[in-house]
């Protein structure tokens, strides 16, 4: 097939990236065909993936590795041969039946007003009102870029869940199930596939935006995850055991305890002195400070320059701020948002409890998208008012600092092509769109938008915890399938200067998005072939600060 170069097109005010037809599209003809997908092995074929634009005409994807026999003997895989969850194989048929019964019991709880008060109304609305018009389909980058694989269609998971509910949970489910379209038999294989497929959706909600009825297939994926976690104890290990459980136990999902944080901070202070000539003592537990600044602790280890840049800006702008040393208080991560309301609530209440005890006036969310959403709109309905502390986005404070010249800036230091990746949680789920753009327009002379952008952005493919999913063959799927649309967008945004002679910067004000960008740029060799680097927003601001020696931004891929 001839390679096509995707172009940005304006469509009724909504910009989209055209998706060239993939070489092979599997067509399914009947409702039974679709359900049978849950019974077959549909290993994702990399030849069906959407081709990449210039200069990647010669690009050949390496296949997604299949699991070894040893791995297959230990745990289950999804219908695409990928394992995000490493669900242990039951030893006996009885155990399988028990798990299926547990699943059905959990499904009833998902529809119960007390057990699921947190999301019952939106879930019910989404389950009961989808007219199956498929208007939402092409909004999903995972679906389109996979070559429109049926199992990734935004409506697929919801369709399966709906049929199970109609057949097994609703009264009279056994009456004419074939005629009514819910002739389905639930078995262990089906629930494994459903659990895995709930982790092939990044909960980005782009499909929900396109749905004329207001159905949210992202929420349905989330609720399926929740049912598996809260009832069967099945969740992505990086989100649960290595995520929220570890965070509640040690203080951070990175495993950093307060002593570890102290080391990180000492190192940051030294680095700031070296790079910016600024002698600073990073404030901790300063009672009554204006802001309690909360970072994703992943930054401390993977991108310490982000923490340092924040410190430099806040200090130079004369902001009254502090960080917290109490466990959980120094890590804004809350992976519960993605899969489990109980874990989510525990972490949110810890965060607010610590802020309240410090007597700060506000909480400031650093550059982490899901932490924004977890702590701001969603938490607003959970945290009792006597524990509440107003919370603000760092993008808003940074806009105030930059636009009101509270620090001196020289934009010519950022005279290289820059584009912005919008984190879904900050834009589509919170409507914070303009502050980051105002900053970039002021400090980056060669700033250009991706197509589409803002509320219409595509997910980076690392959303909903995918960016930290690093086990078995999940990261191989994540880069090739989930991240493909974003990489295409990046190439298109830099098409005027794509060669390796020009350094280019993808600004992503979100830790998880940065993790995913790192992995896709590495997989597609974007640094070697095109000199595409990624990083946060504060790094660009500090790079332009007149008070800081030139070269804060290091053009090294890591």
In 473-555, at which residue ranges do the beta strands (DSSP E only) sit?
Answer: 504-507, 532-535
Interface with ligand SF4, residue 82, by CB under 6 A? no
Specify whether the backbone of 512 is left (phi greater than 0), alpha (psi in -120 to 50) or beta: alpha
Binding mask 458-497 for ligand SF4 (x = CB under 6 A): -x--------------------------------------
Which of 437/529 has CB closer to another protein?
437
Residues 181-210 that bind ligand SF4 (CB under 6 A): 201-207
Q: What is the DSSP letter of 481?
A: I
Applying CB under 6 A, among 217, 252, 253, 457 the residue interacting with ligand SF4 is: 217
Among the listed residues 14, 131, 262, 546, the single contact to ligand SF4 using CB under 6 A: 131
Helix (H/G/I), strand (E/B), else coil: 433: coil
Among 1, 27, 91, 259, binds another protein (CB under 8 A): 27
Structure tokens at 325: 């040393």
- Residue 273 lies near ligand SF4 (rule: CB under 6 A): no
| Residue 173 touches another protein, criterion: CB under 8 A | no
Q: Is 377 in the site for another protein (CB under 8 A)?
A: yes
The span of 132-140, 187-195, 272-280, 298-306 binding another protein (CB under 8 A) equals 132-140
DSSP string, 34-65: HHHTTTS-----GGGSPPP-TT-TT--PPPPP
Whole-angstrom distance, CA of residue 379 vs CA of residue 363: 13
Residue nearer to ligand SF4 on the CB measure, 152 or 505: 152
- If you count DSSP H runs as helices and E runs as strands, how many of each does the chain have, helices first? 26, 10
Q: Please identify which residue in 129, 266, 320, 415 interacts with another protein, judged by CB under 8 A.
A: 129
Between CA 421 and CA 504 the distance in angstroms is 13
Q: Which of 9, 21, 101, 131 binds another protein (CB under 8 A)?
A: 131
Token digits of residue 64:
């997604």
Query: Of 118, 135, 285, 302, which lies in the binding site for ligand SF4, with binding defined by CB under 6 A?
Result: 135
Binding letters toward ligand SF4, positions 25-64, x by CB under 6 A: ----------------------------------------
Q: Judged by CB under 8 A, which of 77, 82, 184, 211 binds another protein?
A: 211
Tell which positions 279-318 bind another protein, by CB under 8 A.
none
Token readout for 90 is: 């039951």
Using CA atoms, how far residue 537 sits from 109, 289, 409, 432, 553, in Å, is 42, 24, 14, 14, 11
Q: Is 215 in the site for ligand SF4 (CB under 6 A)?
A: yes
Under the criterion CB under 8 A, does residue 392 sit at the interface with another protein?
Answer: yes
Cβ atoms of 135 and 211 closer than 8 Å = yes
Residues 6+ apart with CB under 8 A from 159: 34, 132
Among 84, 85, 107, 142, binds ligand SF4 (CB under 6 A): 142
Count CA atoms within 13 Å of residue 100 on its CB side.
16
434 lies in the binding site for another protein (CB under 8 A):
yes
DSSP label at residue 479? I
- Total residues binding ligand SF4 (CB under 6 A): 26
Compute the distance between CA of residue 503 and CA of residue 497 in angstroms, rounded to an integer.
Answer: 9
- Using CB under 6 A as the criterion, which residues of the chain lie in contact with ligand SF4 when the complex forms? 130-136, 139-140, 142, 154-155, 201-207, 211, 213, 215, 217-218, 221, 459
């Amino acid at each position: 097939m001839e390679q096509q170069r995707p172009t940005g097109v304006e469509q009724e005010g909504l910009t989209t990236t055209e998706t060239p037809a993939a070489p092979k599209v599997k067509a399914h003809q009947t409702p039974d065909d679709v359900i049978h997908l849950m019974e077959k092995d549909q290993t994702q074929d990399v030849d069906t993936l959407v081709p990449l634009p210039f200069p990647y005409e010669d690009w050949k994807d390496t296949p997604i590795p299949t699991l070894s026999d040893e791995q297959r003997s230990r745990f289950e895989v999804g219908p695409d041969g990928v394992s995000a969850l490493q669900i242990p194989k039951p030893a006996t048929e009885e155990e399988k039946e028990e798990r299926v019964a547990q699943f059905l019991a959990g499904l009833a709880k998902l529809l119960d007003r007390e057990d699921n008060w947190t999301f019952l109304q939106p879930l019910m609305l989404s389950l009961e009102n989808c007219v199956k018009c498929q208007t939402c389909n092409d909004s999903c980058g995972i679906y389109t870029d996979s070559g429109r694989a049926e199992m990734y269609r935004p409506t697929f998971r919801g369709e399966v869940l709906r049929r199970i509910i109609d057949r097994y949970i609703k009264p009279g489910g056994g009456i004419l199930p074939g005629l009514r379209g819910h002739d389905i038999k639930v078995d262990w294989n089906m629930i494994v596939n459903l659990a895995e497929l709930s982790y092939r959706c990044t909960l980005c909600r782009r499909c929900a935006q396109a749905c004329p009825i207001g159905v949210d297939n992202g929420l349905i994926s989330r609720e399926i995850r929740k049912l598996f976690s809260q009832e069967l104890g099945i969740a992505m290990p990086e989100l649960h055991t290595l995520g929220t459980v570890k965070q509640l136990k040690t203080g951070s999902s990175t495993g950093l305890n307060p002593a570890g944080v102290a080391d990180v901070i000492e190192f940051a202070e030294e680095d700031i002195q070296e790079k910016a000539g600024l002698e600073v003592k990073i404030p901790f537990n300063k009672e009554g400070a204006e802001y309690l600044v909360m970072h994703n602790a992943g930054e401390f280890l993977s991108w310490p320059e982000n923490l340092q840049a924040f410190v430099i800006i806040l200090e130079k702008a004369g902001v009254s701020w502090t960080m917290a040393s109490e466990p959980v208080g120094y890590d804004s991560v809350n992976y519960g948002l993605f899969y489990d309301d109980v874990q989510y609530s525990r972490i949110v209440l810890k965060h607010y409890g610590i802020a309240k005890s410090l007597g700060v006036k506000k909480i400031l969310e650093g550059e982490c998208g899901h932490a924004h959403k977890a702590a701001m709109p969603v938490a607003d309905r959970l945290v009792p008012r006597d524990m509440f502390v107003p919370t603000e986005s760092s993008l808003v404070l940074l806009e105030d600092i930059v636009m009101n010249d509270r620090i001196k800036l020289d934009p010519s230091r950022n005279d290289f092509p820059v584009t912005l990746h919008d984190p879904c949680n900050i834009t589509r789920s919170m409507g914070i769109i303009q502050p980051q753009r105002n900053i970039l327009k002021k400090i980056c002379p060669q700033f250009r938008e991706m197509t589409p952008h803002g509320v219409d952005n595509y997910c980076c493919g690392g959303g909903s915890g995918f960016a930290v999913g690093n086990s078995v063959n999940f990261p191989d799927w994540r880069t090739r399938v989930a991240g493909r649309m974003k990489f295409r967008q990046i190439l298109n945004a830099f098409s005027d200067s794509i060669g390796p002679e020009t350094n280019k910067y993808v600004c992503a004000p979100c830790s998880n998005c940065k993790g995913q960008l790192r992995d896709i740029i590495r997989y597609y060799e974007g640094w070697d072939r095109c000199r595409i680097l990624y990083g946060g927003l504060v790094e660009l601001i500090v790079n332009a600060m007149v008070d800081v020696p030139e070269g804060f931004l290091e053009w090294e891929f890591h």
